[in-house]
Amino acid sequence: MLINCAAYQDGKKLADISVADISNYVGRPDCFVWVALRDATEAELATMQQEFGLHELAIEDARHGHQRPKVEEYGDTLFAVVHTIEFGATDELRVGEVNIFVGRNFILSVRNRSTQHLLGVRERAEHEPHLLRHGAGYVFYALMDAVVDRYFPIIDALEGELESIEGQIFVRGSARANIEHLYELKRRIMTVRHAVTPLMESASKLWSGRVPGVCEGSREYFRDVYDHLVRINGTLDSLRDTIGTAIQVNLSMVTIEESETTKQLAAWAGIFAVATAFAGIWGMNFEHMPELKWRFGYPMALGTIVVACTLLYRRFKRLGWV
């Protein structure tokens, strides 16, 4: 679905143009065309391929979707795949895709399986003609920047989740829930990593070393995006590392709790075993058991049992077992 299609010159919008007119504008030296598609059909992609002379392999990638994030050069044209991440209705992470084709005189973005629109980027760009004057390369930056900026709230949410699990990790009896949450969180982090890490690697090629011509004028802007990706990546690494440690610590806590339960069991089993053993002894049927005939034999027996159990209880108390 075509969202919009406009030609720009000297940092200002010339006009909204029809798809058929694209080739006219692309030919003009100081002018560039900016087209935005959403969930593009095969026909739309075919038209775009023809209008902009896009490489067959890039178009195929855009058609199939589910590519890993990347930035590839096909002659003078760049083809970039960027992942969008958003929370779905039931709090699961949903991954979409923005395919971007950039040439000297055009930029084409194709957004798939994503509810986040990028209209704000165009609006903001049109209000900053001094920046938009940099051309298609700057628009490319603005689109990447918009997508990457939306990673931050996701990261914050994941950090929040981890913190809430950490608040539970030393609470008795929460081990099972903790481990399930940690596992789930780890999966989410891997989803985000798959969006971030390959993009970070690709983005570094846009500002350091030999830079594609179309990005040359916006080097410092791409370094800024790269910097954000490095920061996010670092945070993800920390999260992953912390989750690993948290799983280990959680296992330790389970083992410690089990050990405490075992001690408690040992203590109470001991106390009752003593009572039972004493009772057993006075339950024997020997004829000559003088204390059985004593007037206060029974209270004495009960007393003995209570005293023995109490002493034992105190000892275990002191050991911290009960």
Q: Is residue 211 at the binding interface for a copy of itself, with CB under 8 A as the rule? A: no
**Max Cα separation, the chain?**
123
Binders in 64-83 for a copy of itself, by CB under 8 A: 67-68, 70, 72, 74
CB of 10 to a copy of itself, least distance (A): 20
- Separation between Cα atoms, residue 83 and residue 93, nearest integer Å: 12
The angle subtended at Cα 101 by Cα 99 and Cα 102, nearest 5°, is: 140
Cβ atoms of 228 and 204 within 8 Å: the answer is no
Calpha distance 249→244 (Å, rounded): 9
Question: Binding a copy of itself by CB under 8 A: which of 17, 19, 274, 308?
Answer: 274
**Residue selected from 1, 15, 171, 251 as contacting a copy of itself according to rule CB under 8 A:** 251
Q: Are the C-beta atoms of 77 and 107 separated by less than 8 Å? A: no
Tell me the window of 3-11, 45-53, 92-100, 291-299 that interacts with a copy of itself (CB under 8 A): 291-299
**Of 20, 43, 89, 284, the one binding a copy of itself by CB under 8 A:** 284
Candidate list 117, 261, 307, 311; residue touching a copy of itself; CB under 8 A: 261
Q: Specify the residue, 19 or 211, whose C-beta has the smaller distance to a copy of itself.
A: 211
Binding track, positions 166-195, relative to a copy of itself; x by CB under 8 A:
---xx--x-xx--xx-xx--xx--x---x-
Choices 34-42, 82-90, 209-217, 260-268 (CB under 8 A): range interacting with a copy of itself: 260-268
Residues with Cβ within 8 Å of 230's Cβ and at least 6 positions away in sequence, in order, are: 200
Count of residues near a copy of itself by CB under 8 A: 86
Q: Is 263 in the site for a copy of itself (CB under 8 A)?
A: yes
Question: Which is nearer to a copy of itself, 117 or 187 (by Cβ)?
Answer: 187
Q: Indicate which single residue of 289, 310, 311, 314 sits in contact with a copy of itself (rule: CB under 8 A).
A: 289
Site for a copy of itself in 45-64 (CB under 8 A): 55, 57
- Binds a copy of itself by CB under 8 A, chosen from 42, 89, 280, 318: 280
Torsion of Cα atoms, 258 then 263 then 266 then 267, to 10°: -140
Q: Which stretch binds a copy of itself (CB under 8 A): 20-28, 82-90, 105-113, 274-282?
A: 274-282
Residues 100, 81: Cα–Cα separation, whole Å = 6
* Edge-to-edge strands, sheet with 106-112: 12-16, 2-9, 31-38, 106-112, 93-103, 77-87, 70-74
Could you say whether residue 279 binds a copy of itself (CB under 8 A)?
yes
Place of tokens 């596992």: 183
Strand partners, 70: 81
Q: With respect to a copy of itself, which residue has the nearer C-beta, 16 or 60?
A: 60
CB 110 within 8 A of CB 86: no
* CA torsion through residues 262, 267, 269, 273, sign: positive
Which 134-173 residues touch a copy of itself, going by CB under 8 A?
Answer: 169-170, 173
Q: Exactly one of 38, 94, 268, 313 binds a copy of itself (CB under 8 A); which one?
A: 268
Q: Cβ closer to a copy of itself: 1 or 273?
A: 273
Kind and range of the H or E element at 107? strand 106-112
Beta-carbon count within 10 A of 207 CB: 20
Q: Is the Cβ of residue 20 or residue 288 nearer to a copy of itself in the bound state?
A: 288
